Amino acid sequence: MRERVQLKAPAKINLTLKVVGKRTDGYHELETVMQQIDLCDEITIITANEGIEVSSNNSEVPSDASNLAFKAALLIGEKLGLNNGFRIYIDKKIPIGAGLAGGSTNAAAVLLGINEMLGGLLDLGTLLDLGLQVGSDVPFCILGGTALARGRGEILEPLPSGLHLEVVLVKPPQQLETAEVYRDLKLYELHDQPNNRAFLEAWHKCDIIGLAAQMKNDLETVSITKCPEIVVIKERLVSLGALHTLMSGSGPSVIGIFSDREGAEKAWQTIKGEYQESFLSSSYSR
Ligand code: ATP
């Protein structure tokens, strides 16, 4: 077994997020286009004699079994009957509680990293199954790139890497809890829901204008009630030249889509003086 691996854990954004219904198991049935971006945590995994230890440069990252990276290491260790342990270090760059799947991407990196240490013992299907046991967004984070996700996020249809998206991402100071946003969502109040078919047509044609017009998120209204700053950021990004703005996941991160890198960079130079957690980013392909 290799003693050490280091790997990137990219954040995800949702380009569309349609809530189709509520399931009997308590999860919501989704249809969402997910995209990795090049805003990444850096994960280092080192073998240890026993146990699992998690540490991070960010004190808000839990170091106990509630950390999704911890859960992932435990699960893969049990699956393979490993008798050694792991020390995991998370260099956190992705804002926490932001709708960017920070914890899920750390878990995915741990599954991929430990599998790499073992010379690729487990196949992709098994890794995806383990990932789903950790969290709904973990399978996508394992697969990476761009994908249409259904179910609670585990039915994945990879999409060809299309347009290279230039993104300015802004996280207001407030955090939102995903479970709380879903709890307060009223399905009967949803209207003008995302049209994923139209989105995919634009995606396949690399039509940035058509694509921008189809970027919608059913959770936005609920999250805006909890964090009105989302609207202020959206308006600000439009005034700085964004083609379109959208909240990612359950928020409160807002993404502005730009037609070129120059425009995105100019907007970012301004907005980073207004919001501490502002990032210039772009889509990340497998
Ligand atoms: P998602 O978009 O998947 O709902 P999120 O981006 O909104 O997630 P996270 O950054 O994953 O949210 O953090 C949500 C909570 O999860 C944090 O408050 C933290 O307590 C917990 N958590 C568990 N593992 C991690 C991790 N590896 N990194 C960050 N937070 C973690």
Q: What is the 8 CA–ligand 1 centroid distance (Å)?
A: 16
**Ligand 1 centre distance from Cα of residue 220 (Å):** 19
- The answer to whether 275 and 170 are in contact (CB under 8 A) is yes
26 contact partners, CB below 8 Å, separation of at least 6: none
**What's the whole-model pTM score?**
0.96
Q: Is 92:58 a contact under the CB 8 Å cutoff?
A: yes
Tokens of 136: 């709904």
Q: Is 22 a catalytic residue?
A: no
Active site residue 218: no
Q: Is the CB of 68 under 6 A from ligand 1?
A: yes
**Domain boundaries defined on the chain:** 4-158, 166-282
Alpha-carbon distance of 137 to 182, in angstroms, equals 15
Query: Which of these is catalytic: 71, 137, 216, 218?
Result: 137
Count of residues in the chain: 286
Burial of 209 (0-12, 13-18, 19+ CB in 10 A): exposed
Please report, in tens digits, the pLDDT of each residue of the chain (286 residues total): 999 999 999 999 999 999 999 999 989 999 999 999 999 999 999 999 999 999 999 999 999 999 999 999 999 999 999 999 999 999 999 999 999 999 999 999 999 999 999 999 999 999 999 999 999 999 999 999 999 999 999 999 999 987 899 999 999 999 999 999 999 999 999 999 999 999 999 999 999 999 999 999 999 999 999 999 999 999 999 999 999 999 999 999 999 999 999 999 999 999 999 999 999 999 998 6
Q: What is the DSSP string of 55-82?
A: EESSTTS--STTSHHHHHHHHHHHHHT-
Residue 261: how many other CB atoms lie within 10 Å: 12
Distance in Å, CA 90 to ligand 1 centroid: 12
Radius of gyration of the chain (CA): 19
58 lines ligand 1 (CB under 6 A): no
**CATH number, domain 4-158:** 3.30.230.10
In CATH terms, the fold of domain 166-282 is: Alpha-Beta Plaits (3.30.70)
Phi, psi at residue 81, to the nearest 5°?
60, 40
